[in-house]
Structure 1
Amino acid sequence: EAVLPIIQSRIKVNSVKRIRVKQSESIESTYYLLKEFISDPKIRGAIFIPIGLAFIVYAASVVARRPELAVAAIIGVVGAYLLYSGFGIGESIDKYRENATESLYRGKISFITYLAAIMIGIIATIQGANACWAGIASEIFPGYVILVMMFIKTSVWWYVAAGLSLGFGRIVDLHLEGRVIGRAWAFPFFIIASGLLLWGASAYILASTGYDQDYGIQHLVLSIVGSVAISLFGIYVAARRYGEPV
């Protein structure tokens, strides 16, 4: 209606038809809510990154002419990403990177042990992936649980070595700085106990399903008892050595 006088000055207007448009508050609020929801980097990454990874893995399997592996590969990659995000591995990596940078600038031994832990972790991942690939390439598909157990049994002691490297660097730095080591003594023992428990459980599962030999229930029990004993001994060393309460 604001431009109606201008139009009437040029041509004759016989009638005016008015159309009223009523906005839906619920639809409008939903639109802005979704827009704000997607604009959040964390939420956007949690939604679109797994979908993008699934598309990339499917495309790679088609290019490699192995579409039958697409579902397993997509589940594995997306599952790994969800675990990566759920356990806060990214934040841990950033923290280790900051610690390594600080160690480099301050001349700490932990810089070398951080690098060693990274390299050992890469080796562990490759070893586990090779074991899984051998299972996938076999005539009978073993199943996802068996593949996970193969990965753990093959790589767990490499990961334990990486953890021990981190703990060793931390203890040496505390000692050289004249600071109380305290409960840092317990870290290597807990790493070894965790590795023993994971290795024992995975070996027993593989043996019970026929994918491994010479490992019975008594070995699993010994692994559990040994891991608990090692953990308790680590707590004892940390508490008794420096007089801290348990």
Structure 2
Amino acid sequence: MKVLVLAIDRDDDFGKKAGVKGPVIGKGKCIDAALKLSLADPEDSDANVVYAAVKLYDELKKSGEFEDVEVALITGHPEVGVKSDLELARQLDEVLKKFPADGVIPVTDGAEDEQVFPILSSRLPIVSSKRVVVKQNETIETTYYVIYRYIKEILSDPEASKVFLGIPGLIFLLYGVGKLLSVSYPQSMNIISNIVAGVILLFIGGYAFTKGFRIQIFRALVNEFIQVIFGVSGLLIIIAGMINAYVNIDSYAIELLGKVPEPGLIKLILYIHSINTTIIIGIAVVLVGRIVQAYLKKDPHIWYNIAGLLILPTFWIIVDVTSRYALSVINFHSLATVIEISAAFVDVIFSVMISTFIRRYSIRWANGDEIETGAGDQEVRIAQEAT
């Protein structure tokens, strides 16, 4: 097994500070790059990442656990995000051309660099990982100096300043406006306080949600407008259906069961059964939006969404049959139930066949019909590159 020990510099400190262009391949070249960065900025921890990668490379070479080992450094871009990750992916492909590894061991100095792990795992398996933590000398690193240095870094880092300065600043701003309004309208103090608290929680919750799920709202609205519109429409359909089912649950229970059950498991199953159709319709609307967006962008992954849309009836049948069986409305010996289950099997077979055909067609379509129908090996290779 060939293993690549890979040092990662996502924000390209090597390029900005030391003029080192990635990728850097080989022990000697990596040590030279680390020395240049150490001389340019002795406090930068990225140099220690490369030293740690070289040390790990020597240990693996000495142990003989792998067939072959190589060490390399890839650098991203000062604009951390899509641009830096695309550059890292390009450099990784360049490294793999020179050293076709079977696995990779990434070496980083923090969580930010570790965000590129999905890029690595899409090319080759991650055998292990190593995070470098630089030790501090307590006699030198006084509390004042540490606080000063990190405050300085927060102020200079746009992403960190949004979290540590922007959000607290917004909270103080809203409370300040609320206090001023309460002076003029003291009788509305409770209303103003609730509004301010609601806006703060809404903003913090929305920011945390979008960051946690890596949702870039403005970029999505610009680049994936159709998908966003269909996604919001599908979500509204689901929410409306859930509210409607909750309001009319008693009348629905009388229609299906002939009585209103007590609150508990039976009523929960009845509620799930009542929202089944609405949820399927909402998901279908979302998938249609993704299909339209993929078609306009000529994305070969369009077949994923088409396959999901075709398999939705099976999901509806499964929920419908199991929930009605749990409510003792049907049994598995009745002809209607057998027909419904058979329809689910037919839908699965039909979806697999159609999806396989669409997958082949979408790959040829996305690549400008450059693949001939009989070129099986070439089709597989382009499919792997597309995924």
- How many residue pairs get aligned? The number is 150
Q: Distance in 1 between matches of 2:296 and 2:274?
A: 35
Q: Note closer, same or farther for the CA distance 1:100–1:182 as it changes in structure 2 (3 Å cut).
A: farther
Give 1:171 deviation, angstroms.
0.8
Equivalent in the alignment of 1:198: 319
Equivalent in the alignment of 1:144: 264
Give 1:230 deviation, angstroms.
1.3
**1:184 pairs with 2:305:** yes
Contact 2:230 2:285 in 1 (8 A): yes
RMSD of the alignment, in Å? 3.6
Structure 1 residue runs without a partner (length 5+): 1-89
TM-score (norm 2): 0.33
Equivalent in the alignment of 1:123: 240
Give 1:133 deviation, angstroms.
5.2
Contact 2:234 2:282 in 1 (8 A): yes
Contact 1:200 1:219 in 2 (8 A): no
Q: Distance in 2 between matches of 1:128 and 1:92?
A: 29
TM-score (norm 1): 0.50
**1:221 pairs with 2:373:** no
2:282 corresponds, among 129, 144, 162, to 162
Q: Distance in 2 between matches of 1:222 and 1:91?
A: 43
Equivalent in the alignment of 2:186: none
Contact 2:261 2:267 in 1 (8 A): no
Contact 1:204 1:216 in 2 (8 A): no
Q: Aligned letter for 2:283?
A: G
Q: Distance in 2 between matches of 1:102 and 1:151?
A: 37
Give 1:239 deviation, angstroms.
0.8
Q: Distance in 2 between matches of 1:202 and 1:237?
A: 29
Structure 2 residue runs without a partner (length 5+): 1-207, 364-379, 381-387
Q: Note closer, same or farther for the CA distance 1:162–1:241 as it changes in structure 2 (3 Å cut).
A: same
After superposition, residues 93-104 of structure 1 pair within 5 angstroms as: 95=213, 98=215, 101-104=218-221
Contact 1:193 1:227 in 2 (8 A): yes
Q: Secondary structure at the match of 1:109?
A: helix
Q: Distance in 1 between matches of 2:222 and 2:355?
A: 29
Give 1:142 deviation, angstroms.
4.1
> Which structure has the higher relative contact order (CA within 8 Å, separation 6+)?
1
Q: Secondary structure at the match of 1:208?
A: coil
Q: Distance in 2 between matches of 1:193 and 1:237?
A: 15
Q: Secondary structure at the match of 2:225?
A: coil
Contact 1:190 1:234 in 2 (8 A): yes
Give 1:93 deviation, angstroms.
11
Give 1:177 deviation, angstroms.
0.4
After superposition, residues 4-15 of structure 1 pair within 5 angstroms as: none
Contact 1:128 1:152 in 2 (8 A): no
